[in-house]
Chains A and B, each alone.
Chain A
Amino acid sequence: MSVDTEGSEVPTRPPVRERLASPAGKLVVGVGVVVVVMSALLLAFGIWWPNASLPTTASDTEDAVKSTILVFSIAAAPVMALVWGIGYYSLRHWRHGSGDEPPEDGPPLRGSNRIAVGWVVVSSVLTAFLLVWGLSELTSTTTLAAGAKPLVVNVTGQQWLWTFSYPEDGGFSSPDLTLPKDRPVVFQVSSLDVIHSFWLPEMGIKVDANPSVTTTVSTTPTLLGTFQVRCAELCGLNHSYMETTVKVLDGPAFDAWVTAHGGKPDVTAAGGTSNG
């Protein structure tokens, strides 16, 4: 007869204390301790690591990205700890060396419906949670914030530079990107030759620049400063250098920048650009 991992709890359940003291109970406690310790370590790592490495948060989208990565790290830690913990515990307690002859056969555990069903249920619930989380973040990051009229920027990629034009602010173009803080911006992205990918790492947005097609992506900058604009799709010889900067200014400074470049600040957005 096979002995189940979680003890022989058949007809009458002995009290918890007794069950924990049984051989099977001790196993569960032993591996439980390993899993809990490992979970804690992984959790600490999972919280520290993305924070330490992800770029500065310069938009509401990047904020959503960071909280997603954090939540996923927290969800992943106990799962990893469970699998690794069981592997580690087995190796530590039932190791029989590497001699020429194999050890005795172990107990013939062929499986357990209870464990299988439990495993599938837990992993399904986790998956459902991640999916719901992801869908809600997807909706929030693709929906424009209400209120201010969004700034429209046409982004054109070509080998190996970017051009930005502001169709509703006089239609001028610029080789680097300037945005007002706290005003939603819609990028209409296209390419003159091959596929490029328009990426603002600090703002957590990316969309391919395709020839003959316009794709859109939107965000709201939330931090003043200068950040990167990158091409994220291999586009030929100088792909490594297809980068420029995005400067985030407050409303009046942005309007001044537009005027200085021969554009006309979009008056219908007045109030929108300076609602910082």
Chain B
Amino acid sequence: MAETTAVRPAPAPTSSGGGIMRRLNLGTGLLAGVVLAAVAWFVGSAVWAGNDKATDQAVIAAEIGWVLGFLIGIGAFVAPIRWMLGKDPSHEDEMFLAGKDQGVGRYFRFTTDHKVVGVQYLVLAMTTFGVGGLLAMMIRTELAAPGERIFGGEVYNSLVGVHGIIMIVSTIIMVVGPWGNFVMPIMIGARDMAFPRLNALSFWTLFPAVPVFLSIAALRGIPTGWVAYAPLSDQAPPGMDAFAVAIILFVISSGIGAVNLIVTALTMRARGMTWNRTPIFVVGVVATSLLGLIALPCFEVAMVYELLDRSMEASFYVPDQGGSQWLYANLFWLMGHPEVYVILIPGTAAVLEMAPVFARKPLFGARLAVIGIIALVALSVLVWAHHMFVSGWAPTLAGPFMLTTELISIPTGLIFLVLIGTIWRGNIWTRLPMLFIYGFLWNFMIGGVTGIFLSDVPADNELHGALFVTAHFHYTLLGGAMIGAMGALVYWFSKMTGRMFDEKVGKVSFYVVMIGFNVTFLAMFYNGLAGMPRRVADYQPQYEIGNQISTLGAYTIGIGMLLFLYAIVHSWRHGTPSGPNPWHAKTLEWFVPSPPPLENFEVLPVVTGDPYGYGEVDTHHTTHAGAISGPAGHEGADS
């Protein structure tokens, strides 16, 4: 209230509220981060001088200094400190934090509005995808012919590792980051997330992880692959320290985000929105967040141990000093397998959310979809050891883990049933998101089926560590999840920007990406079956043709992605205005203007039915249609 703002000496010429936060932004964050990093580096170097782990220690100190400095500089701790001092932020302060009347500037501040955070995540994810994609092009260029022609083993191994981890992080955030934050709260009829400040903290904890990731290049890389198996990681240059710090940051960020998403979806759904009436995308986001919350901390623990090993010779992973390489492998895959479902479920849920809109039919067996997603979450924490079938660890567990792994095909099958059941006899509206749904159907089928080959222990003994595995998980994570995510981007683009996605360029990019993708990875399946190992810079001549095809395919993907990027940028600036509900869809986000105003709803909606009542006269998701503010449009989604 006014008394706290009144005692503060800071002049607030244009508007009240905000306090010191008015002076803090990305720039002050970067400045404070660099300063604190430099201080930590010099102090660290001085304290540990002479120690043979001194470089690692100083690097770790500097990276942590950077992160703390950045968070302090951008104002992440201002509100908690004010609370501790008893100076609660006023309503004006909160509105300032939410980005009221700040134009583009709010994207460069510690802004709490969930829509700002969603846009920030989208731009960040696209940027990291760009970096990861560029690295993929470099890898494929090296592999275009036998011989270590361009990079040499050390650099190549780092390229593979950084490409892997940056893509893993990008794909984890690519749906839940932008759309879980931007759309999900509106979808459930809320004005913001349950913890808006945590939402901002989640993004601004991830942001400083990006420079930490990139510093890997300056610190001589991570020539270990993204799995960073110990004890190879103990030999790695200081890039491994940056890798570990970045992972720890990422896990903290995603944990904060996950808690926030779960609490929001559990407690802030509109009046009348029972679980039966909750959109499937919301279910997917909750399931994913829960799974991430269970799985990802294992990675954090693994990385803390790694840092202790590297900087203080703690020997968690050093076999001849009482440690075990299998401790690392287990921790890693306890994260690693659930994590692929953390990537997959949101993309899948987005596809299921879009399918009814473009088939003009209710979601077929909506309850089956929910059961399928829950079963995926439950089973996916019980399969990690299938990544260790050939490790020699616990051979007697091969049978049980083969069982759990193959069981996953049943809930996955349910998802397919729901999808084709929804499409079947629908009136197929072949707008761009529908193409991506079909792309998902094609790619994910191949990804799923090849996974069954790998679940079989004798077959895995042959195929593990070969390119077959690489092709398989690219089909699930890129061909499945990412194609779904691209569809989601097209689908919700107008809600975020108020403009239609350029579907002409978009369709061309879709076909180019799909063709390039299938060429690349079918050829990789071939080479994998033929016995070409993963993560090699050089190979025998019999794999040359397959590699050339893969490289051509990869360049094609690159071209398609550039076209897609062009379509995004062009549509964002020049797209035709979309109106609130261009798809005539029925979920709540289409009942508010595009882009939605701060706090989304003037009057909170009441939900009376599920959002998939296509072809049903008496199913209405909400009675709220008339309460929409903003430009007049066909907000009455029930046509």
Contacts and interface: CB of A to CB of B under 8 A. Distances in A.
Interface in A185-236: 189, 193-195, 197, 199, 201-202, 204-208, 210-213, 215-217, 228, 230-236
Contact of A211 (B231, B446, B453): B231
Contacts of B417: 115-116, 119
A210 B417 CA distance: 43
16 contacts: A68-B459, A96-B429, A104-B427, A105-B615, A127-B407, A130-B455, A134-B406, A138-B398, A204-B462, A205-B461, A207-B390, A207-B391, A210-B326, A216-B392, A236-B223, A237-B154
Contact of B458 (A100, A141, A210): A141
A212 B538 CA distance: 29
B442 A206 contact: no
Nearest to A243: B540
A111 B366 contact: yes
Interface stretch (B26-34, B259-267, B408-416): B408-416
Given A116-B368, A239-B153, A109 B391 contact: no
Given A123-B409, A206-B390, A106 B359 contact: yes
A211 B392 contact: no
Given A61-B458, A240-B148, A108 B410 contact: no
B91 interface: no
Given A94-B425, A240-B153, A106 B224 contact: no
A240 B535 CA distance: 8
B352 to A, nearest CB: 13
Interface string A91-115: 1001111101111111111111001
B305 interface: no
Nearest to A198: B390
A55 interface: yes
B536 A239 contact: yes
A106 B410 contact: no
Contact of B583 (A91, A102, A195): A102
Interface in B449-469: 449, 452-453, 455-459, 461-462, 464-466
A50 interface: yes
A232 B360 CA distance: 49
Contacts of A64: 458
Nearest to B157: A234
A91 B430 CA distance: 9
A80 interface: yes
A224 B536 CA distance: 28
B575 interface: no
Given A83-B416, A119-B413, A240-B153, A212 B319 contact: yes
Interface in B381-405: 390-392, 395, 398-399, 402-403
Contacts of B446: 80
A105 B531 contact: no
B3 interface: no
B360 A193 contact: no
Given A134-B457, A194-B231, A239-B536, A111 B365 contact: yes
B441 A87 contact: yes
Contact of B453 (A69, A84, A98, A239): A69
Interface in A132-175: 133-135, 137-138, 141-142
A228 to B, nearest CB: 7
A145 to B, nearest CB: 16
A96 B431 CA distance: 10
Contacts of B399: 135, 138
B52 interface: no
B456 A130 contact: yes
Instruction: Give 10 nearest A-B pairs by CB, closest first.
Output: A215-B392, A232-B465, A201-B531, A212-B319, A111-B365, A105-B615, A103-B427, A108-B615, A53-B529, A240-B536
Residue among A80, A102, A202, A206 with the highest chain B CB neighbour number at 10 A? A102
A131 B536 contact: no
B544 interface: no
Given A65-B462, A116-B365, A134-B459, 15 more contacts: A50-B529, A69-B453, A80-B449, A83-B420, A119-B414, A123-B409, A123-B410, A135-B399, A204-B462, A208-B392, A210-B319, A210-B392, A211-B231, A217-B461, A236-B157
Contact of B390 (A5, A119, A194, A208): A208
A41 interface: no
Contact of A94 (B413, B426, B459): B426
A206 B464 contact: yes
A33 interface: no
A250 interface: no
Contact of A212 (B320, B421, B423): B320
Contacts of B392: 189, 207-208, 210, 213, 215-216
Given A107-B615, A206-B461, A234 B429 contact: no
B88 interface: no
B428 A237 contact: no
A62 interface: yes
A237 B449 contact: no
Interface string B251-270: 00000000000000000000
Nearest to B432: A98
A232 B464 contact: yes
Nearest to B147: A240
Interface string B205-235: 0000000000000000001110001011001
A68 B153 contact: no
B533 to A, nearest CB: 5
A106 B426 contact: yes
A197 B427 contact: no
A236 B240 CA distance: 13
A149 B407 CA distance: 39
A137 B154 CA distance: 39
B510 to A, nearest CB: 12
Given A134-B458, A195-B232, A105 B361 contact: yes
B229 A195 contact: yes
Given A90-B428, A212-B319, A213-B392, A65 B362 contact: no
A269 interface: no
A3 to B, nearest CB: 9
A98 B431 contact: yes
B228 to A, nearest CB: 10
B423 A90 contact: yes
Interface string B550-585: 000000000000000000000000000000001110
A103 B420 contact: no
Given A53-B526, A102-B583, A210-B392, A233 B465 contact: yes
Contacts of A197: 390, 464-465
A62 B462 contact: yes
Nearest to A72: B453
A103 to B, nearest CB: 4
Given A130-B406, A241-B538, A5 B441 contact: no
B457 to A, nearest CB: 5
B195 interface: no
B530 interface: yes
A199 B153 CA distance: 20
Interface string B525-549: 1110111011111110000000000
Contacts of A199: 465, 533
Contact of A65 (B428, B441, B461, B536): B461
B459 A105 contact: no
A108 B361 contact: yes
A131 B458 CA distance: 12
A140 B320 CA distance: 34
B146 to A, nearest CB: 10
B325 interface: yes
